[in-house]
Structure 1
């Protein structure tokens, strides 16, 4: 998602310059309505009456005019009787015609004043019935000022002046360029995407390539994707060259690998492509089968930094080297094939389920490649960026912006950094087997995933809390209620006197927090139970004592607060 903010946060927090991003001039354009600008606004009852079966999208991309000409045939099953269809679509893409079940509607049968297209059906649809609507629309889609931090199209050019186009709409939602249900749980079961582009441009897309047809000076790419995340449908157009290969999975299936890159970058592209099998092997060993193995693992170079578009991850990291030994952006986006595309948060309030797990996968992957030094270096960087200004989870439905925007009470980057560190603490608390069992249940809905035996999952924070209790046979609500539902971190008070080490947790809101604490006394490591939030340990006079010697506890630490305050002052003083 907008996880590329992680790189920016790392750069700011550690005083390192970030990578240059592709810049595109933003033309004058009409403003978005409040409804279109925010993804995940309260879903009207009319949308809840139907299930989204299929979207057939025909989008002609016209770089010369920075416009699209499009039609969408949407098929729904009625969960309850309905005489209306509501879909989200930016009103700045005018609708020219609508037909329902093949019959044209008069213009008076639809309206779209605020970005939610209302279609009055010519007849009511009974529960269990089906209805399809074909919507013709087009115009100039909203242009992102600085994708992916804000959503829209990016109209750019390669070094030799050829069109290079991409879409990134996670923040504002799918309705920026196609009529959809702009909710995390609004996925269609199947999408057929036809993208028409001027020759000789190429249009990589989601899922499987069904075919390519040519007409005059254009060609049309037909892509088919199952259960795509709403904001993960993407448009990519450029003079791409293609690398392809195969990955033979430990689960017995063969996964197609594709990378579309710009001409002149073959050496760098091949080096990045060589990372694909290592990433697949890590995730399949740690988590489980790649969810889209019968489609592809695809990556496309984009004129913006990145986004987890399902089976066609956007990559714009300029092949940067940072000493980690792997491309952090590619690895993070790829994590979302499990944490975001296969397992999707049911509401934006649960967004940490995407970002916390995906962020944790980076230090774990670093350890897999290079050992403990790389692992702890990653964790330390994450810890320096935890903000603790607002709870990670509010317990109430929220929009995307309400989660990402600190000024609106959202946790912002804490869904990445605090989420990952909280999970690292949980991992140590419940043990390796229970931790990975809980992840498999969360992601696949079963403990024994194999290709073909699982379906995509919608999940909430409460679901994961229940799963952890289920796999451990214990009640860990106390853990999540402190780390996720409170802004402040628990503080560990440490006192040493008369040969005794006294430890006491001070949790926010005086909540119970019986978190065991490891203490190293000289060369021996002891675990203090802390059953009621308090514990003690006899220590000889003169012994060297280290609290939490393996750095597994996420807690309030003065050294980090002092560093963060110093960095804020340093940045403020550096401003002209």
Structure 2
């Protein structure tokens, strides 16, 4: 399992309680939500070490069957284990030491009983056999499920995307982000004439003599459950390298030349991300782009790509500035998740901003590497047009719920604002790289991130993170003139909010540090000549 980082400080309690106030579902949670989202002894007494998944896929019947051999380490003496498999799927049998175990199902949870208590600090293996017609996605990847479709030549094309919905939609596992296997093997039987591409390295194929060929892959790094993937299609393979990293591309046979041209963007992307975030975190498992019948997904070492070999987001610019059309959104965004989401993982999906805010910010980092800081700021500013500012970015803990979709664009602009607060780009880039390298292959939470940024900047960033993450409205800088003097204060939900920033007064930069109380500014001037660079700070400004 990835090392799970806990930060037991007052900040954690504060963030959690405040996010409960802004519950996205207003507390209307079910027992099924708790079974999926909470951590109880049936889950925490065990540590997943390995998944060895064998699955056969019948595209015509939209049917799958197989077994997941799960190696676990018993951490505390226990007699009951919770694994997860969607209730529409069949549990065929669960075997331990060649004997079938008894189990009970409740919603998507499967509670497995062992005949005797298991000793702590002991490794065991459970074989979980299952089958059924998995849920088919109506609009992947935004709703979870399988995709059974055909390519332009009428050949079957199959994949699955389950982030948020849960990997237990299609295979049994301990379906919570706080526990990841140290390694995984994925063996997928596909109809003859088709290829399966999964995570990690290809280890071989075998003709099963029944009209199916089994394609085997191995992952040697910790991996999120939702990242484990199968992709079945009429694929061809392209290979390249970047430094010591293998770049492997799998695309439908008729798209080979389009891919060869479009995927040239990977090398400059790696140049940028290696410099700003550190080396690719899964070198042992290679980097892959796999063409998918949906837009894209950050499947670790097998990134899903369905952007039509176009720049932008399906040929459109999400920022509405023109900057987003200079590069392929899916290549950059989904690949950035290898650092933010796949390597650094949020313990609870309520903290998914740890994935999405940093990844969206990484888009602007790539822009800055290629075209300069002004374009990067323009891009981030343009993304604000899609921010709602109507609920908290952080969701409710323990009930398997994400916060607001503002975790993307607002979250990225929050990080850019903090860059402005630090006001030293050399320190900012060093901080960002140290963060990604320090928490490589680890599972963390919001207090851990904030504590790290505060410790390494020696700045009071807690109130700033708190306002953006836990409240809907933006910090409002209020300016007023009285007796030929200028005063400023912050209007925020958070108490003791003090965010320094740079003002331009008559064209000259002045660094000031307003608080929640009216404070005289170190200059005399008319308010009309006091300016704020709103590309650098995501705030509201009012003058009275």
In the other structure, the counterpart of 1:328 is 329
Contact 2:496/2:515 (CA < 8 Å) preserved in 1?
A: no
State the SS of the aligned residue for 2:380.
helix
Give 1:105 shift: 1.2
In the other structure, the counterpart of 1:89 is 85
Q: 2:531 aligns with which of 537, 547, 559?
A: 547
In the other structure, the counterpart of 2:48 is 52
Deviates most, 85-94 or 466-475 = 466-475
Deviates most, 430-439 or 269-278 = 430-439
Contact 1:239/1:263 (CA < 8 Å) preserved in 2?
A: yes
Contact 1:343/1:444 (CA < 8 Å) preserved in 2?
A: no
For residues 34 and 168 of structure 1, what CA distance do their matches in structure 2 show? Answer: 24
Q: 2:446 aligns with which of 434, 443, 461?
A: 461
State the SS of the aligned residue for 2:465.
helix
In the other structure, the counterpart of 2:511 is 527
In the other structure, the counterpart of 2:315 is none
Q: Is 1:297 paired with 2:281?
A: no
Structure 1 residues 365, 35: closer, same or farther in 2, change over 3 A? farther
Q: Is 1:207 paired with 2:200?
A: yes
For residues 38 and 380 of structure 1, what CA distance do their matches in structure 2 show? Answer: 38
RMSD (Å), alpha carbons: 2.3
For residues 479 and 166 of structure 1, what CA distance do their matches in structure 2 show? Answer: 41
Question: Residue deviations 1:386-411, cap 9 Å, x none?
Answer: 222122225x51444x32xxxxxx42
For residues 118 and 48 of structure 1, what CA distance do their matches in structure 2 show? Answer: 13
1:439-454 matches, within 5 Å, as 439-445=432-438
Contact 1:36/1:176 (CA < 8 Å) preserved in 2?
A: no
Q: Is 1:257 paired with 2:243?
A: no
State the SS of the aligned residue for 1:64.
coil
For residues 438 and 380 of structure 2, what CA distance do their matches in structure 1 show? Answer: 29
Contact 1:36/1:90 (CA < 8 Å) preserved in 2?
A: no
Question: Residue deviations 1:180-209, cap 9 Å, x none?
Answer: 111111211111110111121011110111
TM-score, reference length from structure 1? 0.82
1:371-520 matches, within 5 Å, as 371-393=372-394, 396-400=396-400, 402-403=401-402, 410-411=403-404, 413-430=405-422, 431-445=424-438, 456-496=441-481, 499-509=484-494, 511-520=495-504
Give 1:506 shift: 1.2
Contact 1:496/1:502 (CA < 8 Å) preserved in 2?
A: yes
Structure 1 residues 383, 341: closer, same or farther in 2, change over 3 A? same
For residues 348 and 113 of structure 1, what CA distance do their matches in structure 2 show? Answer: 22
For residues 124 and 241 of structure 2, what CA distance do their matches in structure 1 show? Answer: 40
- Size of the alignment, in residue pairs? 500
In the other structure, the counterpart of 2:265 is 275
In the other structure, the counterpart of 2:11 is none
Q: Is 1:67 paired with 2:88?
A: no
Give 1:342 shift: 0.5
For residues 38 and 261 of structure 1, what CA distance do their matches in structure 2 show? Answer: 39
1:317-356 matches, within 5 Å, as 317-322=307-312, 324-356=325-357
* Gap runs ≥5 in structure 2: 1-28, 313-321
Give 1:373 shift: 4.3
Deviates most, 483-492 or 431-440 = 431-440
Deviates most, 346-355 or 475-484 = 475-484
In the other structure, the counterpart of 2:232 is 237
Question: Residue deviations 1:54-74, cap 9 Å, x none?
Answer: 111001111121111211111
Structure 1 residues 40, 327: closer, same or farther in 2, change over 3 A? farther
Q: Is 1:218 paired with 2:219?
A: no
Give 1:429 shift: 1.3
Question: Residue deviations 1:145-201, cap 9 Å, x none?
Answer: 111111010001001110000100012101011111111112111111101111210
Give 1:418 shift: 1.2
State the SS of the aligned residue for 2:418.
helix
Contact 1:257/1:297 (CA < 8 Å) preserved in 2?
A: yes
For residues 430 and 120 of structure 2, what CA distance do their matches in structure 1 show? Answer: 38
For residues 530 and 505 of structure 2, what CA distance do their matches in structure 1 show? Answer: 7
In the other structure, the counterpart of 1:11 is none
1:95-174 matches, within 5 Å, as 95-101=91-97, 103-105=98-100, 109-174=102-167
TM-score, reference length from structure 2? 0.87
For residues 198 and 247 of structure 1, what CA distance do their matches in structure 2 show? Answer: 33
Contact 2:381/2:535 (CA < 8 Å) preserved in 1?
A: no
For residues 528 and 30 of structure 2, what CA distance do their matches in structure 1 show? Answer: 59
Give 1:300 shift: 0.7
Contact 1:79/1:127 (CA < 8 Å) preserved in 2?
A: yes
In the other structure, the counterpart of 1:536 is 521
State the SS of the aligned residue for 1:195.
strand
Bigger RCO of structures 1 and 2 (CA < 8 A, at least 6 apart): 2
State the SS of the aligned residue for 1:275.
helix
For residues 208 and 133 of structure 2, what CA distance do their matches in structure 1 show? Answer: 23
In the other structure, the counterpart of 2:177 is 184
Give 1:551 shift: 2.5
* Gap runs ≥5 in structure 1: 1-32, 249-253, 404-409, 447-454, 560-576
Spell out structure 1 runs of 4+ moving beyond 6 A: 33-39
Contact 1:194/1:220 (CA < 8 Å) preserved in 2?
A: yes
Structure 1 residues 429, 290: closer, same or farther in 2, change over 3 A? same
For residues 60 and 392 of structure 1, what CA distance do their matches in structure 2 show? Answer: 39
